[in-house]
Amino acid sequence: MTPLLLTLSFAFAQDAPPAQPPVEVPVETPAEAEETPAEAPEPAPEPEPAPEPEPTPEPEATPEPQVFAPPPTTLPEPESGPDHVAKWSLSAEIGSSAYRDDSFDLFGSRDGIDTSGLRVGRRVVDRVEVQLGWLRGNRGANVEVANASGGRELAFQSAYYAHRFSLGARGDITFDDALFAYVAARGQLVLQQVRLDGDPDSTSNTDQLSETALAPGGELVGGIELRIPQGKMPITAGWTLEMGAETVATATFGEFGDLRSGGFVIHSGIGIRF
């Protein structure tokens, strides 16, 4: 990853436009005054070291010479400079959260769920962004039990839903305003729901059960962000990839029992910065 990042940062540094547009200053130079021969130019002579300028005596009071200087040029304000990054960010994210608790086996053999959602950020100080996010994910399974003949039969359907509402801060460093490396710490409130349906083909059966739980948590992630460098457009695109760890308090789903999530998390998002 590191070579890739270095390569990307170098590429952006080479391709990056100058921070200020060139300003034409009408200054005559000897080269411009002389006619340029049509033939191929001869090899330039080795430049000789410039002679040491002799110290000039203090000028005495003389009448001010008339200076024909060009009118002062007003430089256009850059839309974004190296130290001036977008204030707002909005991303659509996908990711994965781990559930290593044995209780999660009711919802499938995989110890995790895929998540998707939105994250919005506001840069509050130079290198710190406050982020507010919502990620939702679900997982479910057809639960079977042994029947009288020794085979298996569908007993009920189980489903788990989680909505992760997060609020946190991201601190970053940037390379040419195109590549960011960051760490983020976020507090979470995880709204979870377990649903059990004894007859998935019916919506009016009496054994449709549901329990909801709310549990606090937190995550600490590190990641990178690539942006189309700003300065050309008022809105630019960005891509993030972050990984880290998450912990969520045990959630009690009424009579169903307890469930705890936590472990490795990975998120990736694309969005806009403005």
| Dihedral of the alpha carbons of 125, 126, 132, 138, in degrees to the nearest 10 | -160
The yes or no reply on residue 163 touching another protein (CB under 8 A) is: yes
Least distance to another protein from the beta carbon of 131, Å? 15
The yes or no reply on residue 208 touching another protein (CB under 8 A) is: yes
In the bound state with another protein, the residue whose beta carbon lies nearer, of 56 and 149, is: 149
Least distance to another protein from the beta carbon of 15, Å? 41
Instruction: Out of 78, 82, 198, 231, point to the residue binding another protein (CB under 8 A).
Output: 198
Token pair 């449709």 is at which residue? 208
* Dihedral-angle region of residue 102 (phi above 0 means left; psi in -120 to 50 means alpha; beta otherwise): alpha
Where do runs of H (alpha helix) occur along the chain? 2-15, 30-33
| Dihedral of the alpha carbons of 194, 141, 220, 274, in degrees to the nearest 10 | -90
CA-CA distance, 264 to 250, in Å (whole number)?
17
Distances (CA, A) of 27 to 24, 32, 66, 69: 9, 10, 16, 9
CA-CA distance, 160 to 105, in Å (whole number)?
11
The yes or no reply on residue 161 touching another protein (CB under 8 A) is: yes
Instruction: Out of 94, 110, 116, 272, point to the residue binding another protein (CB under 8 A).
Output: 110
- Site residues for another protein, 227-246, by CB under 8 A, read none
The yes or no reply on residue 259 touching another protein (CB under 8 A) is: yes
In the bound state with another protein, the residue whose beta carbon lies nearer, of 174 and 193, is: 193
Instruction: Out of 183, 256, 263, 272, point to the residue binding another protein (CB under 8 A).
Output: 256
Instruction: Out of 193, 220, 263, 272, point to the residue binding another protein (CB under 8 A).
Output: 193
Interface residues toward another protein, by CB under 8 A? 102-103, 105-110, 136, 138-146, 152, 155-159, 161, 163, 191, 193-198, 200-201, 203, 205-209, 212, 253, 255-259
